[in-house]
Structure 1
Amino acid sequence: MVATTAEAKSFHPAAIRPEIQALQDSLVQWRRHLHQRPELGFREVQTAAFVVSKLQEWGIAHQSGIAQTGVVAVIEGDRPGPVLGIRADMDALPIQEANEVPYRSQHDGVMHACGHDGHTAIALGLAHYLTHHRDRFQGTVKLIFQPAEEGPGGAKPMIEAGALQNPSLDAIIGLHIWNNLPLGTVGVRSGPLMAAVELFRCTILGKGGHGALPHQTVDSIVVSAQIVNALQTIVARNVNPIESAVVTVGEFHAGTAMNVIADTARLSGTVRYFSPQYDGFFKDRIEQTVAGICQGFGAQYDLDYWKLYPPVVNDPAIADLVRSVASAVVETPAGIVPECQTMGGEDMSFFLQEVPGCYFFLGSANLSQNLAYPHHHPRFDFDETVLGVGVEIFARCVEAFCR
């Protein structure tokens, strides 16, 4: 199914500077090189090597092997000043690509189905531009090429390895190529942009038996069905209706035969929310719900609950900077989309907990070219015009912040 996305919109005349327009063919080449060679989280060996080869070619100082496969590059302007971080994730997904294009994945069962190949190409384009135009900014730009955003998460290990130090960042900015918005738009807002991601796995331990003799059993399927229904009331009856939250049970496994009552059932799911006030709330409420129902039916349970990513929360001042910069590139007001929140999660959130910053969406869908399939779809692809737009917006962010 193709995403319901409006047609691509236009850019301001001459919004993309000639030096970046001249990079467009290279940006496409780099992106397609990476697209053909996708790698899963913490296995981005070829990807990191490609990034390092370009940094070496351009004489840019860098460190590699950070949090296994991460790379950090440092580019200094011609005068001292603030330090701005730019983050790009590099990993792919365990998806078999269905696109019939010359640059389709050469790695069976692995695909760049979320645009991270584009993020890496954009960051390389910015590196090329900045190192040839150091006179246009003061201070330092730190490019963070991060592994494993899709899981288990590479941002936190990079932070623990010192990626935000030497020099310490004053702010950080990142983007996500976004097929939920058309080319020529930018989604940017202050405050929460993406949701916290928490996960749970629960095993219900009952007592099995004959399907015709339920009174001799503790039916784990009946208990689990009650739990699934009750979990839906947590958001409906415990969360302020003005707030947004989701509790989803995505897996339910039980039983081996039609006439056997299962002694064990397993279910798992995810929790999403924006407001930090709910940190810890869902874990406690889910366990209370499971425990109460199991007690009522005489069952036991084993519950695992863990936090994956906190919510992505943008600093208002840095979001204003990005919004101002983007307004000079895309046609306004339609090109700036403030209501762009999503219950999707992102480990950019860990960087934003440490340093004020902004994460924004860069519209990349183009229905007229059949480039509007959703993220994580086996036919995901995007309008590569967005690559130069991403470099331009990043360059303007650097020049606006580092002055």
Structure 2
Amino acid sequence: MAVVLGAAKILARYKNVLNGNIKTIFQPSEENTGGAAKIVEAGGLKNPDVDVIITPHVWHDIPKGKLGLRPGPVMASSDLFMLKVDGVAGHGAWPHMAVDPLPVAAELILALQRIVSREIDPMIPACVSIGKMEYGTAANVVSKSVAMHGTVRTFDLEARDFIQKRIGEIAEGVARSARASSTMEYVRVMPPLVNDPDFVEFSTDVLARAFGREAIVADYPATMGCEEFSVYLEHVPGLFLLLGSRDPKGPAVEIHNPKFLFPEECLPIGVRALCEIALNYSKTVY
């Protein structure tokens, strides 16, 4: 937010020479609460229409003073699912009189891992992870149901559809084989984040002239993390610009780690980068 505000204050000084319009978005309710979708629904990319969009983001794997720009996929899609297996409640002393959903859930967790390892092309990045389970009230009770919560990540839209379909099919089949039943809730949280190749090329040339070619990092790896900026990129081409924060003298501290300290020297770099791209785009395109 500070970088965008700083860039807006500087660009306002050039409003008489700018061609076109520049919008700044200070988005509320980031990520799982869906602020980006609400901005789009409210017409934030319209009147006037937005041609390209850019956001800066601090990144721990890129050294301080450098800028990360790569075309194509940068972050994965993010889906959340909940599987509920229902059996028949009973007592731990008489399991034969119950249908215990817990071993069904254990078998199901293992079965879901076969989707990626045996049903998805090995060249397509994808992962299915179970992160939470809810079961049981006492040590000697066979509870009626167990709930599993997980996430799916991939860059490939066909794989995303296929994985969702297979999770439901596998859950139903495994549950039925044990005389239990299953239900699934599946929520598509964010699409993959894909940088526009043409805008990346344009921005790379601009920033290389401003900061030097050595300041540009184009070979950083894509990540299975997710980012809500991807919602805007479904509607307009754009760039997820990474501001390096890693101290070259020490180990990288991941940005969600409580020990992560934002290096304030990134601020002027980010501000200048946004201004350079905006001013040059205004002169070149309009």
Smaller-chain TM-score bracket:
over 0.9
2:181 aligns with 300
Partner of 1:291: 172
Letter in 2 for 1:162: G
Counterparts of 2:65 and 2:79, CA distance in 1: 33
Q: Deviations over 1:147-172 (max 9, x none)?
A: 12232121111111011111111111
Q: Tell me how far 1:309 sits from its aligned partner.
A: 0.6
The amino acid of 1:311's aligned partner reads: P
Q: CA deviation at 1:262?
A: 2.4
- Equivalent residue in structure 2 for 1:391, among 249, 268, 271: 271
Question: C-alpha displacement at 1:330, in angstroms?
Answer: 4.7
Does 2:263 align with 1:375?
no
- Provide the residue aligned with 1:230 in structure 2: 111
Paired amino acid for 1:300: S
2:112 is paired with a residue whose SS is: helix
**Higher alpha-carbon deviation: 372-381 or 241-250:** 372-381
Q: How does 1:200-239 map to 2 (within 5 A)?
A: 200-239=81-120
Tell me by how many angstroms 1:288 deviates: 0.4
- Cα distance in structure 1, aligned partners of 2:248 and 2:4: 26
Give how far 1:366 is off. Answer: 2.3
Q: Supply the distance in 2 between the matched residues of 1:199 and 1:380 (Cα, whole angstroms).
A: 27
- 1:316 partnered with 2:197: yes
Report the alpha carbon displacement of residue 210 of structure 1 after superposing the two structures with TM: 2.2
The partner residue of 1:346 within 227, 233, 236 is 227
Task: Give the corresponding residue for 2:4.
Answer: 123
Paired AA for residue 398 in structure 1: A
Deviation string 1:218-277 (CA, Å, 9 cap, x unpaired) is: 111100001111111111111111110110100012122222222211110100000122
- The separation in 2 between residues aligned to 1:295 and 1:200, in whole angstroms, is 20
Structure 1 residue 196 and structure 2 residue 77: aligned?
Answer: yes
What CA distance in whole angstroms lies between the structure 2 residues aligned with 1:387 and 1:173?
16
1:339, CA displacement in angstroms?
2.9
- Runs of 4+ displaced beyond 6 Å: none
CA shift digits 1:84-124 (9 cap, x unpaired): xxxxxxxxxxxxxxxxxxxxxxxxxxxxxxxxxxxx11011
What is the match of residue 262 of structure 1? 143
Structure 2 residue identity aligned to 1:308: V
Deviation at 1:334, TM superposition (A): 6.9
Partner Cα distance (1:331, 1:184) in 2: 11
Structure 1 residue 333 displacement after superposition: 4.4
Which of 9, 16, 26 is 1:145 aligned to? 26
Quick check: 1:363 aligned with 2:244? yes
**What SS does structure 2 have at the residue aligned with 1:143?**
coil
SS in 2 for 1:359: strand
Q: Give yes or no for contact 1:204–1:223 (8 Å, CA) kept in 2.
A: yes
Q: Give identity over the alignment, percent.
A: 36
| Letter paired with 1:396 | E
**Structure 2: gaps (5+ residues):** none
Residues matched between the structures, number: 283
SS in 1 for 2:133: strand
CA contact (8 A) 1:187 1:340 kept: no
**Greater RCO, 1 or 2 (C-alpha within 8 Å, sep 6+):** 2
Rounded to whole Å, the distance in 2 between the matches of 1:144 and 1:178 is 20
- Structure 1 stretches of 5 or more lacking a match? 1-119
**Match of 1:266, SS?**
strand
TM-superposed CA distance for 1:195, in Å, is 0.6
